[in-house]
Amino acid sequence: TDFVESLPVKVKYRVLALKKLQTRVANLESKFLREFHGIERKFAEMYQPLLEKRRQIINGIYEPTEEECEYKSDSGGYNDDEIYDEEEIQATTEENKEEEDPKGIPDFWLTVLKNVDTLTPLIKKYDEPILKLLTDVKVNLSGPGELLSFTLEFYFKPNEYFKNEVLTKTYVLKSRLAYYDPHPYRGTAIEYCTGCEIDWNEGKNVTLKTIKKKQKHQIWGTIRTVTEDFPKDSFFNFFTPHGSSSNGRYVNDDFLLGHNLRTYIIPRSVLFFSGDALESQQEGVVREVNDAIYDKIIYDNWMAAIEEVKACCKNLEALVE
Amino acid sequence: TDFVESLPVKVKYRVLALKKLQTRVANLESKFLREFHGIERKFAEMYQPLLEKRRQIINGIYEPTEEECEYKSDSGGYNDDEIYDEEEIQATTEENKEEEDPKGIPDFWLTVLKNVDTLTPLIKKYDEPILKLLTDVKVNLSGPGELLSFTLEFYFKPNEYFKNEVLTKTYVLKSRLAYYDPHPYRGTAIEYCTGCEIDWNEGKNVTLKTIKKKQKHQIWGTIRTVTEDFPKDSFFNFFTPHGSSSNGRYVNDDFLLGHNLRTYIIPRSVLFFSGDALESQQEGVVREVNDAIYDKIIYDNWMAAIEEVKACCKNLEALVE
Written in H, E and C, the secondary structure of A165-228 is CEEEEEEEECCCCCCCCCCCCCHHHEEEEECCCCCECCCCCCCEEEEEEEEECCCCCCEEEEEE
Task: Look at A280 and B180 and tell me if their CB atoms are within 8 Å.
Answer: yes
Q: Closest to A15 (Cβ–Cβ): which among B267, B270, B305?
A: B270
Closest to A40 measured CA to CA, from A145, A176, A144: A144
pLDDT band at A313 (very low <50, low <70, confident <90, very high): confident
**Mean local confidence (pLDDT), B269-290:** 63
What is the percent of chain A with per-residue pLDDT over 70, rounded to a whole number?
A: 75
What mean pLDDT is reported for chain B? Answer: 80
A267 shares contact with chain B (CB less than 8 Å): yes
Tell me the residues of chain B between 87 and 116 that have a Cβ less than 8 Å away from chain A.
Answer: 88-89, 92-93, 96, 99, 101-102, 104-106
Closest to B295 measured CA to CA, from A302, A138, A159: A302
The reported pLDDT for the residue numbered B81 is 45
**Mean local confidence (pLDDT), B40-67:** 94
pLDDT band at B285 (very low <50, low <70, confident <90, very high): very low
- pLDDT tens digits, one per residue of B128-141: 999 999 999 999 99
Q: Is the pLDDT of residue B286 over 50?
A: no
Cα A149 from Cα B97, distance rounded (Å): 56
- Asked if residues A117 and A270 have their Cβ atoms less than 8 Å apart, the reply is no
- pLDDT tens digits, one per residue of A229-287: 888 899 999 998 765 444 566 677 788 888 889 988 999 899 899 887 765 444 444 44
Angle between helix axes A9-58 and B86-95 (nearest 10 degrees) is 130
Task: Look at A84 and B16 and tell me if their CB atoms are within 8 Å.
Answer: yes
Cα A279 from Cα A264, distance rounded (Å): 15
- pLDDT tens digits, one per residue of B231-251: 889 999 999 876 544 456 667
CA distance to A303, A309, B321, per residue, from B314 (Å):
20, 11, 11
- pLDDT tens digits, one per residue of A129-174: 999 999 999 999 999 888 889 999 999 999 999 999 999 999 998 8
The reported pLDDT for the residue numbered A55 is 97
Task: Look at B88 and A9 and tell me if their CB atoms are within 8 Å.
Answer: yes
Of 3.40.50.1820, 3.30.1120.90, 3.40.50.720, 3.40.50.300, the CATH number of A2-60+103-276 is 3.30.1120.90
- Helical (H) or strand (E) element with B66: helix B66-69
- Asked if residues B115 and B273 have their Cβ atoms less than 8 Å apart, the reply is yes
The reported pLDDT for the residue numbered B204 is 94
Cα A33 from Cα B302, distance rounded (Å): 52
Q: Is the pLDDT of residue B58 over 90?
A: yes
pLDDT band at B226 (very low <50, low <70, confident <90, very high): confident
Task: Look at B104 and A14 and tell me if their CB atoms are within 8 Å.
Answer: yes
Q: Closest to B317 (Cβ–Cβ): which among A8, A23, A316?
A: A316
Q: How far is A52 from chain B (nearest CA, A)?
A: 11
Closest to B86 measured CA to CA, from B67, B106, B104: B67
Q: Closest to A271 (Cβ–Cβ): which among B14, B39, B179?
A: B179
Name the DSSP letter for residue B321. Answer: -
Q: How many of the other CB atoms lie within 10 Å of CB of B153?
A: 17
**Structural Rg of chain B based on CA atoms:** 28
Tell me the residues of chain A between 153 and 182 that have a Cβ less than 8 Å away from chain B.
Answer: 179-180, 182
DSSP 3-state of B166: strand
Task: Look at B68 and A17 and tell me if their CB atoms are within 8 Å.
Answer: yes
Cα B26 from Cα B229, distance rounded (Å): 48
CA distance to A120, A198, B44, B151, B188, per residue, from B39 (Å):
37, 40, 8, 17, 20
Cα A175 from Cα A35, distance rounded (Å): 11
Q: How far is A268 from chain B (nearest CA, A)?
A: 7
Q: How far is B25 from chain A (nearest CA, A)?
A: 7
The reported pLDDT for the residue numbered A287 is 41
Angle at B169 between CA B166 and CA B173, to 5 degrees: 145
Q: Closest to B105 (Cβ–Cβ): which among A15, A88, A89?
A: A15
Q: Is the pLDDT of residue B175 over 70?
A: yes
| Contacts A28 to B, Cβ<8 Å | 43, 46-47, 50
Strand partners for A224:
A215
CA distance to B214, B215, B224, B227, per residue, from B221 (Å):
12, 9, 10, 19
Q: Is the pLDDT of residue A76 over 50?
A: no
Task: Look at B18 and A276 and tell me if their CB atoms are within 8 Å.
Answer: no
Cα A37 from Cα B213, distance rounded (Å): 62
Task: Look at A277 and B179 and tell me if their CB atoms are within 8 Å.
Answer: yes
CA atoms within 13 A on the CB side of A299: 8
Lowest mean pLDDT among A95-104, A150-159, A214-223, B259-268: A95-104
**Mean local confidence (pLDDT), A65-83:** 60
The reported pLDDT for the residue numbered B252 is 74
Best probe of the A interface among B21, B54, B83, B114, by most A CBs < 10 A, is B21
The reported pLDDT for the residue numbered B220 is 85
Closest to B188 measured CA to CA, from A281, A143, A52: A281
Closest to B314 measured CA to CA, from A116, A289, A316: A316
Cα B57 from Cα B53, distance rounded (Å): 6
- Helical (H) or strand (E) element with A231: strand A223-231
The reported pLDDT for the residue numbered A129 is 97
A61 shares contact with chain B (CB less than 8 Å): no
Task: Look at B99 and A8 and tell me if their CB atoms are within 8 Å.
Answer: yes
Q: Is the pLDDT of residue A78 over 50?
A: no
The reported pLDDT for the residue numbered A292 is 53
Tell me, rounded to whole angstroms, the distance of Cα A200 from its chain centroid.
Answer: 22
**Mean local confidence (pLDDT), B200-227:** 86
Q: Is the pLDDT of residue B294 over 60?
A: no
**Mean local confidence (pLDDT), B41-66:** 94
Task: Look at B105 and A22 and tell me if their CB atoms are within 8 Å.
Answer: no
- Helical (H) or strand (E) element with B28: helix B9-58
A44 shares contact with chain B (CB less than 8 Å): no
A306 shares contact with chain B (CB less than 8 Å): yes
Name the DSSP letter for residue B87. Answer: H
Q: Which residue has the higher pLDDT, B7 or B184?
A: B7
Q: Is the pLDDT of residue A106 over 60?
A: yes
A304 shares contact with chain B (CB less than 8 Å): no
Strand partners for A166:
A155
A210 shares contact with chain B (CB less than 8 Å): no
Task: Look at A15 and B274 and tell me if their CB atoms are within 8 Å.
Answer: yes
Task: Look at A70 and B16 and tell me if their CB atoms are within 8 Å.
Answer: yes
Q: How far is B129 from chain A (nearest CA, A)?
A: 20
Domain locations in chain A as residue ranges = 2-60+103-276, 279-321
The reported pLDDT for the residue numbered A152 is 97
Task: Look at B89 and A306 and tell me if their CB atoms are within 8 Å.
Answer: no
The reported pLDDT for the residue numbered A98 is 45
Angle between helix axes B9-58 and A86-95 (nearest 10 degrees) is 130
The reported pLDDT for the residue numbered B281 is 46
| Contacts B36 to A, Cβ<8 Å | 36, 39
| Contacts B8 to A, Cβ<8 Å | 92, 96, 99, 101-102
B23 shares contact with chain A (CB less than 8 Å): yes
Highest averaged pLDDT of the listed ranges A82-91, B21-30, B70-79, B106-115: B106-115
Task: Look at A39 and B43 and tell me if their CB atoms are within 8 Å.
Answer: no
Q: How far is B221 from chain A (nearest CA, A)?
A: 52
- Amino acid identity of residue A15, one-letter, is V
The reported pLDDT for the residue numbered B92 is 53
- Asked if residues B182 and B188 have their Cβ atoms less than 8 Å apart, the reply is yes
The reported pLDDT for the residue numbered A180 is 56
DSSP 3-state of B164: coil
Closest to B104 measured CA to CA, from B79, B134, B129, B82: B134
The reported pLDDT for the residue numbered B52 is 96
DSSP 3-state of B120: helix
Lowest mean pLDDT among A106-115, B99-108, B249-258: B249-258
Contacts of B311 (CB under 8 A, 6+ apart): none
pLDDT band at A288 (very low <50, low <70, confident <90, very high): very low
pLDDT band at B169 (very low <50, low <70, confident <90, very high): very high
Q: Closest to B279 (Cβ–Cβ): which among A8, A105, A180?
A: A180
The reported pLDDT for the residue numbered B59 is 96
What mean pLDDT is reported for chain A? Answer: 80
Q: Is the pLDDT of residue A62 over 90?
A: yes
Closest to B14 measured CA to CA, from A106, A278, A15: A106
**Mean local confidence (pLDDT), B175-186:** 58
| Contacts B14 to A, Cβ<8 Å | 57-58, 63-64, 69, 104-105
Give just the sign of the alpha carbon dihedral A31, A36, A40, A42: positive
Q: How many of the other CB atoms lie within 10 Å of CB of A200?
A: 16
Highest averaged pLDDT of the listed ranges A59-73, A274-288, A302-316, B171-185: A59-73
Q: Is the pLDDT of residue A177 over 80?
A: no
B1 shares contact with chain A (CB less than 8 Å): yes
Percent of chain B as helix, strand, coil, to the nearest 5: 50, 15, 35
pLDDT band at B207 (very low <50, low <70, confident <90, very high): very high
Q: Which residue has the higher pLDDT, A86 or B290?
A: A86
pLDDT band at B37 (very low <50, low <70, confident <90, very high): confident
The reported pLDDT for the residue numbered B187 is 45
- Amino acid identity of residue B3, one-letter, is F
CATH code of the region B2-67+101-276: 3.30.1120.90
Cα B298 from Cα B286, distance rounded (Å): 18
H helices of chain A, in order, are: 2-5, 9-58, 66-69, 86-95, 108-114, 128-131, 248-260, 269-274, 278-320
B292 shares contact with chain A (CB less than 8 Å): no
